[in-house]
Structure formats: C-alpha cells, structure tokens
Amino acid sequence: MKRIAVLTSGGDAPGMNAAIRAVVRGGLEQGWEVFGVRQGYAGLMGGDFVSLSARDVGGIIQQGGTVLGSARAPEFKTEEGRKQALANLEARGVEALVVIGGGGSQSGAYALSRMGFPVVGVASTIDNDLYGSETTIGVDTALNIALEAIDRLKVTASSHHRAFLVEVMGRDCGYLALMAGIAGGAEVIVLLEVESDPEEVIETLKAAYRRGKAHAIAVVAEGATNNANELMLYAQENQKRIGFDLRVTILGHVQRGGMPGAFDRLLATRLGVGAVERLAGGEHGVLMGLIRGEILATPLDEAAGRKKPLDLGLLEMARVLAK
Ligand code: ATP
C-alpha cells in the first residue's frame, strides 16, 4: 500500500485530533503517504484532499474539535454520491480510508466498503451508542464537562433554594444524561429510552424539597419526549408549587468543545494506531473499538447500523441513591 486517507465525520468529539495524528504518523511509519479529507464525506465527494506530514499534525493532540473539519453530508447516502467519492479516491491513488466518527459515519463506511473499497472505522462519538466499542472517543471529556456544570449549578442552587432542569446532549441516546445524572448525584434522570411522566418529575423534586434538601437537580436528555423546556412549561402551566424555585439550564454544544482529557487522548491514539495496524495487516471492513480494555476490530457488517443498548439497571440504582 502506498496511500491512505483519513476523515472525521458527524458530530465532532474531543479526541478526534489525537486520532488523526495517530493515523497520520502511524501511516507515515509504514512508509505510506497520508491524505486528510476536509469536511468528512462532503470533502470526499468534493475532492477536498490534503497531503499531511508529521509536522502538519503537530500541536493538535490537546485540541478539541477536528482540524480536518466535519460535516453532515446526506448525498453520501446515495450510490451516486459514493461513486463520486470512489472516483476521487482512485484519482489520487488512495488505496484505503480511515473514518473517524459515530454511528451514521460508520454506516457510511460500511456502505463504501460494500462497494469494494477498503475502509477501517474508528469509534468516535460523544453519544457512546456505537456497537463495537464499550466507550468511544469524546465521551469521557463530554461527561466531565457536563459534570463540572452540574457541580457548579448545585453550588448556586443551594444558595437560592433552587431546582435545576439540566439538559445534556443526546438526541438519540441517553448515555450522557444517565452517567452525568449518576455521577452528579441528580435527584431525577429523564431519558429518551424510558417513558417519563412530567408529573412524576415535578413530584420527585417536590419530595426532595420536603426532605429538607437545599437544592435539587434533574438531568434531562436532549432527546427525551419531555425535554427541559417542556418540563418547565408543564410546571408553569400546572402552577406547580415545588418549593424550590425552578430553573432550566441547557448545556448544549458547550459539552462538545472541550480539550480532550487524558482518557480520550489515549483512547483516540490507540484506536488510530490500531486502524493503521489492521490496514497494514491487510484487514479492512472493520470498526476499531475498546473492548474489555483491548483495542479490537468488529466487522462493520456487525457494528454499522446497530445501536448499543443503555444499561437501564443503572437508572434504578440512581433512583435508590437519590435520597
Ligand atoms: P454523531 O452521532 O456523534 O453526531 P454520526 O457519525 O452518527 O456522529 P451522522 O450525522 O449520523 O453522525 O452521520 C454522519 C454522516 O455519515 C452523514 O452526514 C452521512 O454523510 C453519512 N451517513 C450516515 N448514515 C449513512 C448511511 N446509512 N449510508 C451512507 N452514509 C451515511
């Protein structure tokens, strides 16, 4: 093999840059030329390639986001779009592609690999919903950012006897909400995976007030049927007397933009190097992930399009502990 390419796709995740650096320097070590593709599959279809040297990926391991840029590119779901991408790869003599991204991106990787092109995926999404990796690049950092915010909200909430509805990211998956709720000691956790009753949420906050708590926190997943604003509206419309003064904080994209912590830098580095090693060994059509502490490959036909289920037993544990 002489040339490979690497791209980042879907929502950005802290640690993507560490993975790019690992793929580039690992590839150079193999004697390959490594191209970076800008803006994910949009750049792959548009021919936006740049040859990367070891120096080009210097000073990025500690940066959040992705220096290659990322995009949502619906045209890649069409065969014409992917044919255009293949033509661009072939025109540059690129023989394999590394796709750093989440579930949708790995479905794209699988679609390309089914057309005969060698692709290796790297599990990267703050949602942690990818089958084939117990945890994915960006999750740990995003979770710590959410936790820091919750800890701060608790401080001010205690001063004013307030309850906060804290909305964390996760349009399609409640992992961040569940884990931030447990680690942040929330009184209530509202997920999209479990049907929630706004009345019950309000009653739980009210009960916390009656037990003499100085504050209460409800962590709400962005994608929950009753998101933070809807819960607030319900409380207002029903003139609910909770005891606490109720406020909403939506953390939103703040959770994405942090500097990757040690865990995500190390995970991303190991996954990026793992991707190169698999390609060097002639293996492709796989997703690199962390399984029982090891960097392992799962066939894309098993991983793509398959969502990792949440451990809902943890929700019950959180409920028991929120005394
Ligand atoms: P995250 O969930 O962290 O935001 P993601 O990778 O799941 O990341 P998506 O927006 O779902 O993000 O997907 C990113 C891109 O992958 C899409 O814009 C599209 O270009 C491509 N893609 C998604 N699904 C498919 C599919 N079934 N076939 C081909 N390409 C796809």
For the stretch 225-270, pLDDT in tens is: 999 999 999 998 988 889 999 999 999 899 888 999 999 999 999 9
As a residue count, the chain comes to: 323
Phi and psi angles of residue 193, each rounded to the nearest 5 degrees, phi first: -75, -20
Mean pLDDT of 303-318: 93
Same fold, 3-138+260-303 and 140-257: yes
For the Cβ of 121 lying below 6 angstroms from any atom of ligand 1, the answer is no
User: Is 191's pLDDT higher than 90?
Assistant: yes
Q: How far apart are CA 172 and CA 292, in angstroms?
A: 25
Enter the DSSP assignment of 130: B
Distance 40 CA to ligand 1 centre (A): 10
Strands across the sheet with 245-250, in order? 188-190, 216-221, 162-168, 245-250
Closest by alpha carbon to 222, among 163, 168, 292, 286? 168
Q: CATH 3.40.1160.10: does it fit domain 140-257?
A: no
Place of tokens 């790995």: 106
Sketch the domain layout of the chain as residue ranges: 3-138+260-303, 140-257
Closest by alpha carbon to 168, among 157, 186, 180? 180
Active site residue 301: no
Positive or negative: CA dihedral 151, 60, 127, 9: positive
* C-beta atoms surrounding 147 within 10 Å: 17
pLDDT (0 to 100) of residue 61: 98
pLDDT (0 to 100) of residue 255: 87
Q: How far apart are CA 231 and CA 228, in angstroms?
A: 5
User: Is 294's pLDDT higher than 90?
Assistant: yes
Least confident interval from 63-67, 103-107, 160-164: 160-164
pLDDT band at 323 (very low <50, low <70, confident <90, very high): confident
pLDDT (0 to 100) of residue 238: 86
Q: How far apart are CA 231 and CA 163, in angstroms?
A: 12
Mean pLDDT of the chain: 95
Distance 119 CA to ligand 1 centre (A): 15
pLDDT (0 to 100) of residue 241: 86
Q: CATH 3.30.565.10: does it fit domain 3-138+260-303?
A: no
Q: How far is CA 177 from CA 66, 150, 161, 265, 320, in A?
A: 24, 11, 23, 22, 17
User: Is 92's pLDDT higher than 80?
Assistant: yes
pLDDT band at 67 (very low <50, low <70, confident <90, very high): very high
Q: Is 211 assigned a ligand-binding role in the annotation?
A: yes
Distance 11 CA to ligand 1 centre (A): 9
Q: Whose CA is nearest to atom 13 of ligand 1?
A: 104
Tokens found for residue 215: 């504050």
For the Cβ of 8 lying below 6 angstroms from any atom of ligand 1, the answer is no
